[in-house]
Amino acid sequence: MDKSWVRIKDLNFYSIKVRGKTEWKFMEFISDDNISGISEITDTQLNSSVSELVAKLSNKFRGQTLNDEEQLLEYIKYDELKATNSLVLATAISGIRSAFLDLFSRRMEMSLKKFLCINSNIDLNFSNEIELYANINRSLLPDNNGPVERSSRTFANEALSAVKRGFKTVKCAPFDECKAPFNTQNCLPSEAIVGLERLSGISDVISNKTKLLVDCHSRFDLDSSFYVHDELIKRNVSWFEEPMDPEMFPEETKKIKSYSKIPLAGAEMAYGNEIMQRLIRENILDIVMPDVKFCGGPTEVINLYKALSNGKKVISMHCPSGPISLLTSAHVTSAIQAHLPLEHAIDEVEWRKELLLPSESINNGNYILSDNHGLGSTLDKAYINFNGNIWKE
């Protein structure tokens, strides 16, 4: 069979309970000659299932001869127009596009990172070793027994544990108890004090060589963002993520960026490279954080990189999820030769490495990519069959 086209025959779904309300979900295309392509469609943050929508959209091109991703998009182009306003649709289309690229790069008998470079005329200077930063927040969310301790001591212990494993950068979300509007104005909200204590706890145990990143989860308004920023400066914070949602509040975010002495990051839910281009070019953000589960998949990040003169310095992949999205993001980060590290949610569950064959390879704070075809790993279906769910739609 000619390697330059595929026909998708089957569509499989996989899920496994992680902790608390979190469940990782994956989709898999199978071609008519039994090549597999996998992506992650975790929908914990959504109000409806993504798998049904993936199946509905995939039926539009199932059995058709597909020569490239652009041809696939022709079948769902009217649906894609709505993806910027629907996270469910953005997740479904991103999953479809990502799984197709895994399958197609396997068909072309090259790694995904190499395929992305060749397909987009990018220099083949990619690395197989990708620097990660440790997101400790997932390990501090409720587990199967309910809420866990979120004291300054536990934040400090998690951060120190990451540093001891070789991570040079640590990120936390210390302000999840906050939510604007606040009762007071023109001052630091009292609700933010406990979060600042957590940051102080981390600062006390890590060296100045370790970068500390802060994700605010859009918990603040314009007024409170200024006061929080000033407190972050005192604690040597290197990254100020989404004090406000930059897509919903672009003008306010622009004012925060103008005021901030710390790089302002965000746009983790954005679909399409055009939105992220605008956020950089209009001085709304310093750093954009495409998430392969929502942004449209690897190609959108590649197109963003090519459109920006300083793409290597302003793109940092958002990835607080499962091993397939991290693996995909590592390939993209490698292809664009990003100067910024890739996010990795550490210590969420002990069995994470069991999900992939070959298993996830992280050493001294770096993701080690193979040169195997496609993503280079696949799901351990026997493990998921025993511990999770497998189905078709």
211 and 102 in one domain?
A: no
The span from the CA of 238 to the CA of 199, in Å, is 12
- Here the CATH number for the domain that contains residue 96 is 3.30.390.10
φ, ψ dihedrals at 8, nearest 5°: -85, 125
Number of Cβ within a 10 Å radius of residue 186: 8
Handedness of CA 295, 296, 300, 301 (dihedral sign): positive
Q: Per residue in 238-285, pLDDT tens?
A: 999 999 999 999 999 999 999 999 999 999 999 999 999 999 999 999
242 and 191 in one domain?
A: yes
Tokens describing residue 145: 């027994």
367 and 328 in one domain?
A: yes
Specify if 202 maps to a domain. Answer: yes
219 and 136 in one domain?
A: yes
Q: Is the pLDDT of residue 37 over 50?
A: yes
387 and 266 in one domain?
A: no
Helix (H, G, I), strand (E, B) or coil at 49: coil
Q: Per residue in 119-176, pLDDT tens?
A: 999 999 899 999 999 999 999 999 999 999 999 999 999 999 999 999 999 999 999 9
What residues contact residue 1 under an 8 Å CB cut-off, 6+ apart? 33
211 and 94 in one domain?
A: no
202 and 72 in one domain?
A: no
Closest C-alpha among 330, 279, 266, 332 to residue 305: 332
281 and 255 in one domain?
A: yes
Instruction: Give the chain's domain count.
Output: 2
The span from the CA of 3 to the CA of 332, in Å, is 23
Q: Which pLDDT band, with edges at 50, 70 and 90, does 393 fall under?
A: confident
Q: Which residues form the domain of 290?
A: 129-379
Q: Per residue in 343-367, pLDDT tens?
A: 999 999 999 999 999 999 999 999 9
Check residue 1 and give its pLDDT: 42
Q: Mean pLDDT over residues 37-57, rounded?
A: 88
The DSSP call for residue 17 is E
